[in-house]
Each structure stands twice: as structure tokens, then as C-alpha cells.
């Protein structure tokens, strides 16, 4: 398989690890990382990097032509908590970038597009447990509104113009190499850093707030697996439900305590509680498992062991 890939938003939480994995698969020179700021040393040293604003269609096009790009992964976005502070900016970034990339695919400059959606497409009226692919979707956050609109734009460009765009509704993604910024599920990343640095953590969600989550390794694998799947196996062109694990702050704290016995967690819910309360607690992703054979690998225990081992090293 020979592809030349452009990643928009490569310096972010998911972009960073996805870039390294794609470089390992497709060759360093065939994966062009880009962002509005430079990436870390590993990214800058391991392959091509361009400064690109993901809302700037002309610059994206210039780089597609310069590098003969066949696929674009659009990962630049403003997450849920920040988007509530800057609604206009969030809408602009999240929608303008998507429409630019979809247009470039419609104009046949690229063959394939990846764009992430989120559990934020669901809202307070959605069935909370084992949330199905097709259900009530009335998001209550700016981020969620941008994601559900984006899903329908993807489906529209696919139906109307034959654009090969593929998408996943990510749960909260947990990583240790690069921290997320401005999300509601970010507590489940911060907690590991604070557990090691200071032995305690003040959580901005309440102890029983159950949310769908996934370890970064699984998220990266799911993304690449979806992009490599045969066209005829992709039956959903809005975005696939995707799941691995779900837990509460209390449960992740108990898991950390198995490794750091004096670890303490306290709870000080803020405005992000309301966002979390509007989202599902678990997701039914049977469609992804059936259509393109998705399987997750990490549970809460194996993820915790892996993160703490890596952070200590
Ligand atoms: N992790 C994201 C957030 O919390 C959800 O997609 O905003």
C-alpha cells in the first residue's frame, strides 16, 4: 500500500502518536505532519513537517500538491471545555477546517479523508447506557453541535460527491506522551501525572461520573484500521460508535492505588460536570466490530500498568 499522508493538527494529543505510527507503517517521508505550531523533537526529526492553519484551504492545497498527498487526517479541533469558553472560535475552527478538506477531496486533490467525531454528539436525552449507533442525538455543547454537524457534512459529501471520508466517534482518549487540552475527559490523563508527581489529585468531575474511555494505543489502531478497511466494508459515513472501556473517577483512582498505595483523590466538580452529565456512560460499538472487525486491547488495569510504567521511566 503506498500512500502519502498529510496530518493536520499533528502536534495535538492524538496527532502526535498517530503521526509516529503512520510513519512506521508508510515510511517517514510519506507522512507529512503539520500544525500551527512545531511538534516535539521526535516529530520534527523523524519526517517532514509544515506549519499549516487547518482553516486555510489554499495553504492545505499547496502542501497537498507539493508533497503529492493522497490522504488527509484532519485532527485540528477545539475540544469541549474550551469550546464552551470560545463558541465562535470553536465553530470556526471545527467547521471551516472540515469543509476545506471535504472540498479538496470533492475537487479530487486527495483520495481519502479521516475526521474524528466524538461521544459529544450525544446529549442529555440520549439513552445513557450502551448507547446505540442510531439514537436520539441532541447535543448540548458547542463542541457537540460542531461534531454532529460535521458528521452530516461527511455523509453528504460521500453521498453527493462520492468522497471517501471515514470517521470515528472517539470516547475520552487516555495518553501519557502528549496531554490533551481543553477536554472534559482530560481528568483521566491528568490523574496519572499528579499521582506520580504529588500523590494526590483534585478531580473536576464527581466520583460517580461514568464516561466511555479508551487508551491511545487502541485509538490509533482503530483509526488506521478504519482507513485501511475495504471501501465496501465501510457502511457508515456519518461516524462509527467506538468503545473500549468505561469507568468513574473513583474506579480509576482505586486502580492507581494498586500501584501507588498512598494515592488520594478529592472531588471539586466545576462547569465540566454538566458537560460530562450530558454524555453517555457507555457506548455500543457493535457496528464497528461487525463491519471492519474492530477489537480493543486495553482494559483499565492493563492501561494503568502501561501508563505508570512509561511515566516512571
Ligand atoms: N475528549 C473530548 C472532550 O472531552 C471528547 O471528544 O472534549
What are the sequence ranges of the domains in the chain? 5-172+234-241, 173-213+244-312
> What does the block give as the cell for 310?
512509561
CATH class (in words) of the domain with range 5-172+234-241? alpha beta
Catalytic (active-site) positions:
143
Give distance in angstroms: CA of 49 to centre of ligand 1.
26
Q: How far is the CA of 185 from the centre of ligand 1 (A)?
A: 6
Model's pTM, two decimal places? Answer: 0.97
CB 211 within 8 A of CB 279: yes
303, 188 in Cβ contact below 8 A? no
Going by CATH, does the domain composed of 173-213+244-312 fall within 3.90.25.10?
A: yes
Ligand 1 pocket, CB under 6 A: 79-80, 118, 120, 143, 170, 172, 183-185
- Choosing from 79, 147, 274 the residue with most ligand 1 atoms within 8 A of its CB, the one to mutate for a pocket test is 79
> Residue 185 has what DSSP assignment?
T
- Cα of 135 vs centre of ligand 1, distance in Å, is 20
Count Cα atoms within 13 angstroms, Cβ side, for 308. 21
Quote the CA–CA distance of 62 and 15 in Å, as a whole number.
21
Give the position of cell 505508570. Answer: 308
pLDDT given at position 1: 63
Nearest CA to ligand 1 atom 6: 118
Residues of the chain with pLDDT under 70: 1
Q: What is the DSSP letter of 121?
A: G
Q: What is the pLDDT of residue 2?
A: 87
Output the CA 170–ligand 1 centroid distance in Å.
Answer: 8
Q: Which of 172, 214, 241 for mutating ligand 1's site (highest number of atoms within 8 Å of CB)?
A: 172
- Please write the tens of the pLDDT for every residue from 200-240: 999 999 999 999 999 999 999 999 999 999 999 999 999 99
Same fold, 5-172+234-241 and 173-213+244-312: no
Amino acid at each position: 500500500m503506498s500512500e502519502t499522508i498529510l496530518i493536520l493538527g499533528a502536534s495535538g494529543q492524538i496527532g502526535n502518536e498517530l503521526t509516529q505510527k503512520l510513519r512506521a507503517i508508510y515510511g517517514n517521508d510519506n507522512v507529512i505532519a503539520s500544525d500551527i505550531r512545531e511538534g516535539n523533537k521526535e516529530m520534527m526529526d523523524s519526517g517532514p513537517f509544515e506549519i499549516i492553519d487547518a482553516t486555510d484551504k489554499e495553504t492545505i492545497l499547496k502542501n497537498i500538491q507539493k508533497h503529492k498527498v493522497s490522504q488527509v487526517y484532519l485532527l485540528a479541533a477545539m475540544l469541549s471545555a474550551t469550546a464552551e469558553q470560545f463558541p465562535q472560535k470553536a465553530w470556526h475552527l471545527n467547521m471551516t477546517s472540515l469543509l476545506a478538506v471535504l472540498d479538496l477531496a470533492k475537487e479530487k486533490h486527495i483520495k481519502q479523508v479521516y475526521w474524528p467525531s466524538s461521544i459529544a454528539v450525544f446529549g442529555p436525552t440520549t439513552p445513557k447506557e450502551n448507547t446505540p449507533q442510531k439514537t436520539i442525538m441532541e447535543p448540548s455543547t458547542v463542541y457537540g453541535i460542531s461534531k454532529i454537524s460535521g458528521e452530516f457534512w461527511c455523509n453528504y459529501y460521500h453521498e453527493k460527491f462520492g468522497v471517501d471520508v471515514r470517521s470515528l466517534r472517539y470516547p475520552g482518549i487516555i495518553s501519557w506522551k502528549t496531554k490533551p487540552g481543553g477536554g472534559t475527559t482530560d481528568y483521566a490523563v491528568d490523574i496519572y501525572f499528579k499521582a506520580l508527581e504529588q500523590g494526590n489529585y483534585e478531580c473536576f468531575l464527581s466520583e460517580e461520573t461514568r464516561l466511555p474511555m479508551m487508551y491511545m494505543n487502541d485509538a490509533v489502531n482503530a483509526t488506521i484500521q478504519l482507513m485501511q478497511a475495504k471501501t465496501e466494508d465501510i457502511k457508515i459515513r456519518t461516524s462509527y460508535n467506538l468503545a473500549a472501556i468505561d469507568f468513574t473517577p473513583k474506579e480509576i483512582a482505586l486502580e492507581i492505588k494498586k500501584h501507588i498505595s498512598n494515592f488520594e483523590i478529592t472531588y471539586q466538580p466545576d462547569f465540566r460536570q454538566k458537560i460530562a452529565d450530558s454524555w453517555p456512560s457507555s457506548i455500543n460499538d457493535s457496528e464497528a466490530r461487525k463491519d471492519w472487525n474492530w477489537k480493543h486491547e486495553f482494559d483499565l488495569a492493563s492501561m494503568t500498568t502501561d501508563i505508570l510504567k512509561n511515566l516512571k521511566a
